[in-house]
Structures are given as structure tokens and as C-alpha cells.
Amino acid sequence: MIHPNSFQLKTVLLGCLLFCALILPAQDGTIYPLEAPEEPNAILLGTGGVKDQPASESWFRQWGDPMARNITTATLTPFLPKPGKANGAAVIVAPGGGFHWLSLGNEGWEVAEALAEQGIAAFVLKYRLHPTAEKLEDFTAWMNRPRGVPQPDTNKEETPDPRPRWDLSNQLADAEAAYKMIVDRADEWGVDTDRIGMIGFSAGAGLTMHSTLHSKTMDLAFIGPVYGGMGPVEVPENAPPMFSVIATDDFLFRGQFGVIESWYKAGIPVEFHLYQNGGHGFGLGNPDRTSNRWFDAFTYWLEVNGFLDPNSRK
């Protein structure tokens, strides 16, 4: 079995990043074409395709990060801790991208690697997406459209409501399949099924919340929505503890605390970090922003609540 943090995967990704760094401006908001990287450890979830999707999966780079769109086949990529370091906890990592693309580097692989370094088995969920234009230039034009002008398929991902306002049946099915696969292969991957959580970024935070509110098969031990919508929700009786992160200069914040208040009033443990700055889409962090150490706070929260201790959740 090839270890999920294999040298092969890291070599391919590093080579791709170095090559693009030589020919493209670094950290440029411009969208550039990108050849699809190899994903040797990605496991098919078998949840089907996407209806009325004429375009095939394609990749691009923006802000120095690899991103994928028109995803029609969901996969799960494990990032397992080194032997002897695993503590049994597991996290499903859901990248963001407005359900039209996935920021797989910034909000997926990098986060999973950081979790694995803490002894946590991490699983990047590459979930199915809503269709976008086949040609990159048309997709770029759609991305760069004036946001204040009403248009078809307007930028609904900017709503502060943590519950996405369109059909997420495909995405929920992918999340449920990922959870089931982790449970089914728990012995192989060294996972304690009582300590499986989910963390998501932007739209991935929306999927995390959607899974928490609507899944009939997932029994998440904890959730971590990062810069997701902040509106109020109806909290299920069996809702898991929540760790939430957002910055004041994030367009999704808008001075709202609804989802935090919902968890608090329901009597479910909640920890909320409102950072002075960081904007939107900061992943593990950007230089000189107060939000840069949220990941340390998250792992400490997991530790204090016993999610990293094999004996404390029994």
C-alpha cells in the first residue's frame, strides 16, 4: 500500500508548483490554465456523475493555488499520520469555491498535511460541482463579472446564510459516502469511529453545515466551519460541538453571529474566533494577518475537548 503522504504525491505537486512559479507571476489573482496534477491516492467514492454537465474536469491556478472545476466524479484522498504518531482522530476536509470550483491546494491538501502532522488522519473530499463554462476564458469572464449587477446564476455563494440556497444533493451524497468509507476502513486507517469530524472552508463550510443539519447517516463528533455563512440555523438535538472561524473583513461576516447564537442557545459546545483581519479564503493563513494562528487554536480546542485522546471519548 502506498502511504497517502507518499513521496510520489508530494514530488508531483511540488514539481507542478515549481514549474508554474517559473512561468507565471506569483500570487497573481489572474486565472491561468493548469494541467491536472496526478492524484495517485485519490479513491473513487462511486456516487455517480453530474446531470447536464457537458464539460470535463479542468484545472486552473489563481493566487498561486491549484483549483479544479467541473468535477463530476467525487474522490477521497487520505493523508495519514506517520506510523506511531496517529491518535485515532479523523477529519473530512471540504475545500471551498462557491460549489463551482475547489481550492484543493490552499483549503485541501495543505490543511490535510497539517492535520496529519498533528497525528490526525485527514481526508480531502473532492466533491461534485455545479457546471461552469467549458472554455477557461468564458469561466474567467464569469468570475470577473460585476458583482453588483443582477445576472443569471448570480453569486449566491456570497450570502451570509450558512445554509446554501440551492440543491446540494450531490454534495451531501459525496460527504456521506466519504464518511461511510472512513468508517468501513477505520481499522485499516487507524481511525476511531467515535472521533470523526469535518472541517470546511467557505462553500466547504456550507457543506459541513449542510451535512450537520440534514444528513441521516453521518454522526460527526465535531465540526469546524471556517469563513462560512453566519446566519441562524435550526440546530439538531444531536448536533456536534462546533469550532468556527471568520475575520471581520470577510464579506460573509457582515456583523452577524446567528449560527454561533444558534449553537449557544441549543446548549451545544461552541467556540468562535472572530479575527481582526484575514479576508476570505486564507486557508491556513496569510502573512501579517491576525487570523494566521487559527489552526493552532483549532488543534488545541480538539485537544482540550478530548478528541485527540483515545481514552477520553469512551
pLDDT tens-digit series, residues 267-303: 999 999 999 999 999 999 988 999 999 999 999 999 9
Number of other CB atoms surrounding residue 26 within 10 Å? 8
Please report which confidence band the pLDDT of residue 53 belongs to, taking 50, 70 and 90 as the band edges: confident
Residue found by looking up cell 446554501 in the block: 164
Q: What is the mean pLDDT of the chain?
A: 88
Average pLDDT on 201-206 reads: 98
The structure's pTM equals: 0.86
pLDDT at 25: 38
Contacts of 158 (CB under 8 A, 6+ apart): 147, 251, 252
pLDDT at 311: 82
Q: Which CATH class is domain 7-145+155-304?
A: alpha beta
What does the domain layout of the chain look like in residue ranges? Answer: 7-145+155-304
Bridge partners for 58 per DSSP = 69
Please report which confidence band the pLDDT of residue 178 belongs to, taking 50, 70 and 90 as the band edges: very high
Is pLDDT larger for residue 312 or for residue 202? Answer: 202
